[in-house]
Amino acid sequence: MLGEMLLADEESKDFLLVMFDGSQKVSVMVHRLILKVNSAFFKRTLNSLYQLSYVWIIPENAFSEAAGVLKYFYTHDKNHLVDNATTSVLLAQHK
């Protein structure tokens, strides 16, 4: 499995966000994040919004490593993909 990666402040980067909720259902989103805050604050905000147990933020250069995991989650748990436009980021659901 992929390890958790914490990011320094960055802007206009693509990130893969892999999120597990408390019941271990898997939600996968591809986000274009415009980060104006540090990742620890952003992570706490996401945890608060989605009430998640874990949030992994994986930088774009790790997409190839994550592709198999993403495909598995999307294929087996597509009903649990999150699409929540109320967050402060621009969302693009993975297809």
Any domain includes 71: yes
Whole-model pTM: value is 0.27
Any domain includes 6: no
pLDDT tens by residue, 30-76: 343 333 334 555 566 655 555 544 455 555 555 555 555 544 444 44
Any domain includes 19: yes
pLDDT band at 1 (very low <50, low <70, confident <90, very high): very low
Strand 26-33, strand 13-21: pairing:
antiparallel
Scanning 1-95, the segments in alpha helix (DSSP H) are: 39-50, 63-77
Q: Do residues 38 and 8 touch, judged by C-beta distance below 8 A?
A: yes
Any domain includes 3: no
Structure-model confidence comparison of residues 11 and 43, the more confident one:
43
What is the rounded CA–CA span in Å between residue 58 and residue 90?
Answer: 16
Domain that holds residue 51: 13-92
Any domain includes 2: no
Q: How many domains does the chain have?
A: 1
Any domain includes 4: no
